[in-house]
Amino acid sequence: MSITFTNDVHGLNVYLVGIKGTGLCAFAEILLSMGASIRGSDVKERFYTDEVLEDLGISVLPFDKANITKDIDLIIYSAAYKPDTHAELLMAKELSIPIMSYPEALGAFSENRNSGAIAGVHGKTSTTAIAGVLARAVRLPANILVGSRVPAFGNRSTLNMGNELFIAETCEYRRHFLHFKPRRIVLTSVEPDHQDYYPDYEAIAAAFTEYLCSLPKGGTVIYCQDDKGAVDVWTRAKTVRADLKGLAYGFDARGDFRIASYKLLNEKAAFTLAGFGISFETGIPGRHIALDAAAAIALCSSFIAEREGRRLNDDELKAMAEALAAFSGSSRRSELLGEAKGILFADDYGHHPSAIKTTLRGFKDFYPKRRLVIDFMSHTSSRTKALMDDFAAALSDPYLGKDSIMVLHKIYLSAREQADPETSGYLLFEKTRKLRPADSTFYFEEVMEAKPFLSSILRPEDLFISLGAGDNFRLGQALYNEMKNS
């Protein structure tokens, strides 16, 4: 059976293995909106996606090979599971039911639409979420798929406004993005990451170059001129594919999407783009958010230019500016939890030294009078080991202020790796402590062990930030709830 995901999938019986994952949950919603019948399976642990699936009326079963029946037309599985070991996928093979990984399914879906991909080591989620609210503001008939929960999407990860266009966040890990079939790619950043798969910069740069070169003839690359890796990969791709069209954005770019001005005032950032006579405003900390917004504006502009042969008009620019000003971010991306007892609580997913430095500087710029109290949990042994010195430098950035406090924990291990005896969260702590002011850096092996200490030192006008791709966000939520309810 050939699955093409055309606009008519009515009656298609789809089963999703790992349906609680952000990507699969969002994809389930898109397919459901198009008429497919959806059910799936996952672990018993409860996630925010449980509420989304319940609201959609999608049944979620515990993993069991008995769930797999002959009436299923297609099984889509999370890349976290393997077809040769997972009981349900083994049963699907026994019953000759077609199976696809989530990246493969996303690629098949993109192939039948005018698709735009967001790619890069950093900035994918925010850029895609902003592109969604801007596309809605100018009424583009698009499906949007983001790798995080977005308040502006009704606390979901997808926005369904039509099936002509498709804008999606695409992942570089294990070259998953090569399944995607876009006509244009936004390239936010390229630098070493996922060291368990890409041993060095050359390896990851080659993968991104291959992705750009997979574009059809005359495809468009919207790249960040401020990012050395993005410029390098664009240059490599252009050398191989002279037909590709390049559209640069950023503070260092030339053309319409150069950020011509950037100002901070009253916990807001205002910026202008060289090609348009309007000011844009965002309430999310960091110059990188202005970059993400510029990329999203360029992407929407590219769609409109292709569909209608024209530039953005004044009404569309005004609608975009209003949508951006109202945009409150996405889950775990410079997310403000709230303020209690004069302490502002925030959470961010930043788990790479570059992202950490950019994110924390953004917070400090927005809230210069607040003392930063930061709880960081490193993610994966391979990344921590390869970038240990860079992590220590980012966490000891003098820009954070001499009064800043840093708390670290054990490494949050990925399900795909084993602990490395040559590295640890404590080793990162020791390296960081040597670079920071005396008595400003602390270590607690387990996340929640730090709660009594933090409760005792937090004071009015502090900004507490849980940072990283581990589970230390629980600590920030617990502290906020404690302060709010006491």
Other beta carbons less than 10 A from residue 365's beta carbon = 15
Same domain, 382 and 426: yes
pLDDT digits (tens, 9 = 90+) for 108-142: 999 989 999 999 998 898 999 999 999 999 999 99
- Residue 73, pLDDT score: 95
Higher pLDDT, 470 or 186: 186
Other beta carbons less than 10 A from residue 99's beta carbon = 20
Question: What size, in residues, is the chain?
Answer: 486
Same domain, 378 and 406: yes
Report the C-alpha gap between 338 and 172 in whole angstroms. 33
pLDDT digits (tens, 9 = 90+) for 283-339: 888 888 999 999 999 999 999 999 999 999 999 999 999 999 998 876 676 788 889
| Phi, psi torsion values for 247, nearest 5 degrees | -135, 110
Domain count within the chain: 3
For residue 177, is pLDDT > 80? yes
Q: What is the residue whose two structure tokens read 């079963």?
A: 61
> What strands, in cross-sheet order, belong to the sheet with 156-160?
156-160, 142-150, 165-169, 114-119, 184-187, 220-224, 245-249
Task: Examine residue 5 and state whether it is found in any structural domain, yes or no.
Answer: no
Picking from 236-245, 346-355, 398-407, 423-432, which range would have the lowest pLDDT averaged per residue? 346-355
Tell me what the mean pLDDT of segment 467-475 comes to.
90
What rounded mean pLDDT belongs to the chain?
Answer: 92
Query: Minimal CA–CA distance to 223: which of 243, 244, 239, 240?
Result: 244
**DSSP-assigned states of every residue in 439-473:** T-EEE-SSGGGGHHHHHHH--TTEEEEEESSSSTH
Interior angle at CA 140, CA 137 and CA 142, nearest 5: 115
**Last residue of some domain: 326, 357, 377?**
326
- Residue 378, pLDDT score: 94
**Last residue of some domain: 307, 326, 345?**
326
Tell me what the mean pLDDT of segment 171-184 comes to.
93
**Cα-Cα-Cα-Cα dihedral of 233, 237, 243, 248, to 10°?**
0
Report the C-alpha gap between 147 and 153 in whole angstroms. 12
Report the C-alpha gap between 445 and 338 in whole angstroms. 27
Tell me what the mean pLDDT of segment 240-266 comes to.
96
Same domain, 348 and 481: yes
Q: What is the residue whose two structure tokens read 């029946």?
A: 69
Task: Examine residue 475 and state whether it is found in any structural domain, yes or no.
Answer: yes
The CATH number for 369's domain is 3.90.190.20
Report the C-alpha gap between 193 and 92 in whole angstroms. 34
Report the C-alpha gap between 54 and 103 in whole angstroms. 24
Extended strands (E) in 80-226: 99-101, 114-119, 142-150, 156-160, 165-169, 184-187, 220-224
Query: Minimal CA–CA distance to 392: which of 418, 357, 365?
Result: 357
**Last residue of some domain: 326, 354, 382?**
326
**Domain housing 46:** 13-103
Same domain, 177 and 243: yes
Same domain, 175 and 284: yes
- Residue 285, pLDDT score: 83
